[in-house]
Structure 1
Amino acid sequence: MTTTLQPLVRPGPPLDPDEVERYSRHLLLPEIGIMGQRRLKNARVLVIGAGGLGSPVLLYLAAAGVGTIGVVDDDRVEPSNLQRQIVHGVEDIWRLKVDSARDSLASINPLVHVETHPIRLTVDNAIALFGQYDLVIDGADNFATRYLVSDTAAVTGKPCVWGSILRFGAQVSVFWSGHGPTYRDLYPDAPPPESAPSCGEAGVLGMLCGVAGSMMAAEAVKLITGAGRSLLGRLSIFDLADATWRELTVLPDPARRLVAPSDGQEDSCVVAPHDPDEISVPELCEALHDRSAGSRSFALIDVREPYEHASARIPGSLSEPLSRLRTAGIALDTPRERLLVVYCKVGPRARAAAEILRAAGHPDVRVLTGGFDEWQARTGDPSV
């Protein structure tokens, strides 16, 4: 299987003098030149996520002169994003990420057209959305979206540039059904949500996003122009802590059947529907009132990291981070028959903690629906 591919996009209109000046360093490269830059000008690229990976991808695509860039993200900028999501600034906090990204790209290259999609990618909108673009770049931070992106790209015949980051390590590859492997050839099935660190639990070195995102943007440019050797069929793995790089070959599974897009996988970064093992914010408010009156007894446990608990918390909660539960076991000094109510930021860490607590012999564990974010939204209590 060759990884040298024909250019994905036909050349666009001739460059005007301003474009020749702006992209002069590209034009000096024989692998890109005038025709390659015209292909970039004519390209339409969809970026999934305007977060850690999406930020450098978007910035470099705009700087490179990709004519139309689509951005899919339904989230808002939070202060903790600024450590790594460099497309956003302090003045963008609580703005929609797609709006913040659009304005940043306009300040870098006003010749680029940015299409914002402030939505969550779902099985209902993915195929129609992918059909509007030449290629897709997957900067998602959860397994459900990654599989949805891969399956939709396979059905629509679009190449997909993919990256993943965790702590100090990253992986980057290119998937393209019919030309090489897909994400399902590398990872056929998603792991159970409780088996992998969640979005806010593991941490990530900010600069790692820049390294991986720059590689992803470069792969997109190579696909569009036909320059260089694509990562299609290869997985690049690098560890910034040890400054090591290695590569694995990924082959398409001949027995693999085309999988229709499905959002059936549990999204580890969103809130699951209410179930009997959950407790709503109004129910918790009532329970806390009863506990203050002495008519009810339970333990309220914050499984976020200590710095999160110190910054803002539900009054009367104890700090027992999920990361410590996973590695050091349970340090709770509470009767096994006592009710435990656990919460995190939005829910996934709390659900994983609940499973650990139940396995350790605490039968009555309930998860706060929507987590601390829902508590703040409903009560208006900053609880700092």
Structure 2
Amino acid sequence: MADLSAELHKLRVENALLKKQVSLLTANGNLSQNPTAISSGGYAGDAAASAFPEEVQWIAGAGHSLSGLEIRRYSRQLLLPSFGVEAQQKLAKASVLVVGAGGLGSPVLLYLAASGVGCLGIMDPDSVELHNLHRQVIHSEALVGELKVKSAAATCLAINSSLRVQEYAFALEAANALEVISDYDIVVDASDNVATRYLISDACIVANKPLVSGAALGMDGQLTVYNHAQGPCYRCLFPTPPSQSACQRCADAGVLGVVPGIVGTFQALEVIKILTGVGEPFSERMLVFDALSTRIRTVNLRGRNPECAACGDNPQVDRRTLPEFDYEAFTSSPLCDAPPPRQQIVGEDQSITCRGYKEVREAHEAHLLLDVREQHEYAIAALPSSLNIPFSLLPQQRDAIVAAAEVTTSLGVKSLPVYVICRRGNDSQAAVNELRSFGLSAYDITGGFQSWVQDVDPNFPFF
């Protein structure tokens, strides 16, 4: 470090002397005799200023356009031989659209803002909620309830006030995708639903934009780059959407907060590499991250599929068809991160509202409350005096459930009514059908704990 400081001091003095020489040559009319006198760049520091106070100026090397403030801000990147001034200038001229300002989008936006990307587009229709904060580190407690795009934009500008930020407080849809995406050099998929993934990929193909895609769920993460250097698109790898049951979301399956942070940081890295031409982007490969073992492996992907409906030789998705394509019908899932709609399986005669069940409890009517959530969910929060048997275990626990519902009276043994509750009211309906096949009188508590919080107890910690 001492050697580097001495070398920098030497360069600063030499630059001040060069500037002085140019001034003297100009005054004597001899500049044309020494055209290379101002060929090197640097900064004339305090030591030179004491000798030549009127000549203390910095000189841009090789004709670059970085300001003195930019040089100081990005100095640690500029010092990298593989990066340098040229790469920094490319970042300054670049624009990036980030779809999603959540767990993945947070580190992407933070690092791109800090790195010096000239323009960031932030797209997210949601507002900041308390349960976001363990992973969506671009937001804060003070901004709970604020639109995510406004919260994220404020944080990015607090990091780097020279940024240009465009806020899109609405969801990406087939009708607006091409108009928005066409304005940017590169797109980052930081969404959390399969319908949006297909839409972003298709739009990037049509608009000819590279796409950096990431995913995080539970303890696992994935990363790849689509539509870059003749690489495949999302449809090439997944021509047929997965079943709805296979498409879990963080809101249902959970996620360790740091996992999307790691994947999102990798996404930011890939964006910087593509924009600057530095390094080898992760095209035709997929990074797979296992947080439990802290292992990262690379999977080679097949190349572009000539028969792909989006990027193949005879594409079916183009500028004319994309705005009309029904991605929700194609994937059987919504174009948002909202939970899937509740399915009505049992009839009203086999259901009871949350308010109705509250009256049953207050009247102390004899019954069995069966909670069919998974055991780890039950351990977080539950209603008192409930029996927890996960839905998947009901067949194996038939005898135990029947026994738990039985009571002995003066007239003999009888079965109590069984009220069934789950998180959102879907598994509980299926459980009612299962329990009735056991010969029990079972009733679904409509809407599960989600409705319980809305209609009965807002203080119950629904998650």
Per the normalisation by structure 2, the TM-score is 0.66
Aligned: 1:106 with 2:144:
no
Contact 1:57 1:213 in 2 (8 A): yes
Q: What SS does structure 2 have at the residue aligned with 1:230?
A: coil
Q: Which residue of 2 aligns with 1:382?
A: 459
Deviation at 1:191, TM superposition (A): 2.1
Q: Which moved more, 1:374-383 or 1:261-270?
A: 374-383
Aligned: 1:287 with 2:361:
no
Cα distance in 2 for residues equivalent to 1:362 and 1:178: 58
Once the two structures are superposed, residues 183-240 of structure 1 have per-residue CA deviations (whole angstroms, 9 ceiling, x without a partner) of: 1222333322223544234332322222211110011011111111111111111223
Amino acid at match of 2:356: A
Aligned: 1:167 with 2:218:
yes
Question: Mapping of 1:174-193 within 5 angstroms?
Answer: 174-176=225-227, 179-193=230-244
Quick check: which one's helix share is greater? 2
Alpha-carbon distance change, 271 to 170 in structure 1, aligned in 2, over 3 angstroms:
closer
Deviation at 1:67, TM superposition (A): 1.3
Q: Which residue of 1 aligns with 2:328?
A: 263
Cα distance in 1 for residues equivalent to 2:429 and 2:451: 21
Deviation at 1:297, TM superposition (A): 7.8
Matched-pair identity in % = 31
Aligned: 1:357 with 2:431:
yes
Amino acid at match of 1:127: L
Aligned: 1:20 with 2:43:
no
Alpha-carbon distance change, 194 to 223 in structure 1, aligned in 2, over 3 angstroms:
same
Contact 2:174 2:199 in 1 (8 A): yes
Q: Which residue of 2 aligns with 1:137?
A: 188
Alpha-carbon distance change, 172 to 273 in structure 1, aligned in 2, over 3 angstroms:
closer
Q: What SS does structure 2 have at the residue aligned with 1:263?
A: helix
Contact 1:49 1:139 in 2 (8 A): yes
Contact 1:171 1:236 in 2 (8 A): yes
Contact 1:164 1:171 in 2 (8 A): yes
Alpha-carbon distance change, 327 to 188 in structure 1, aligned in 2, over 3 angstroms:
farther
- Higher normalized contact order (CA 8 Å, seq sep 6+, divided by chain length): 1
Once the two structures are superposed, residues 261-300 of structure 1 have per-residue CA deviations (whole angstroms, 9 ceiling, x without a partner) of: 52322138424456543899x9724533664569998957
Task: Give the length in aligned residue pairs.
Answer: 361
Once the two structures are superposed, residues 132-158 of structure 1 have per-residue CA deviations (whole angstroms, 9 ceiling, x without a partner) of: 222111111222222222222222222
Q: Which residue of 1 aligns with 2:298?
A: 247
Contact 2:372 2:422 in 1 (8 A): yes
Q: What SS does structure 2 have at the residue aligned with 1:245?
A: strand
Alpha-carbon distance change, 365 to 165 in structure 1, aligned in 2, over 3 angstroms:
farther
Amino acid at match of 1:287: G
Contact 2:429 2:444 in 1 (8 A): no
**Aligned partner of 1:277 among 345, 368, 383:** 345
Contact 1:74 1:96 in 2 (8 A): yes
Aligned: 1:76 with 2:141:
no
Amino acid at match of 2:458: D
Aligned: 1:214 with 2:265:
yes
Structure of larger gyration radius? 2
Cα distance in 2 for residues equivalent to 1:79 and 1:286: 26
Contact 1:302 1:320 in 2 (8 A): yes
Q: Which residue of 1 aligns with 2:101?
A: 50
| Structure 1, unaligned runs of 5 or more | 1-12
Contact 1:337 1:362 in 2 (8 A): no
Aligned: 1:63 with 2:153:
no
Cα distance in 1 for residues equivalent to 2:309 and 2:370: 47
Amino acid at match of 1:92: L
**Aligned partner of 1:303 among 363, 373, 378:** 373
Cα distance in 1 for residues equivalent to 2:124 and 2:385: 32
Once the two structures are superposed, residues 341-376 of structure 1 have per-residue CA deviations (whole angstroms, 9 ceiling, x without a partner) of: 5442xx4xx53x35863785657886845x645554
Deviation at 1:83, TM superposition (A): 2.1
Q: Which moved more, 1:261-270 or 1:69-78?
A: 261-270
**Aligned partner of 2:139 among 64, 71, 88:** 88
Q: Which residue of 1 aligns with 2:284?
A: 233
Amino acid at match of 1:151: D
Contact 1:23 1:64 in 2 (8 A): yes
Alpha-carbon distance change, 148 to 29 in structure 1, aligned in 2, over 3 angstroms:
same
Contact 2:178 2:203 in 1 (8 A): yes
| Structure 2, unaligned runs of 5 or more | 1-63, 311-316, 406-414
Contact 2:149 2:169 in 1 (8 A): yes
Alpha-carbon distance change, 84 to 271 in structure 1, aligned in 2, over 3 angstroms:
closer
Once the two structures are superposed, residues 148-175 of structure 1 have per-residue CA deviations (whole angstroms, 9 ceiling, x without a partner) of: 2222222222211011122322111000
Amino acid at match of 2:142: E
Q: What SS does structure 2 have at the residue aligned with 1:35?
A: helix
Once the two structures are superposed, residues 305-329 of structure 1 have per-residue CA deviations (whole angstroms, 9 ceiling, x without a partner) of: 7567755x6x6795758xx545897
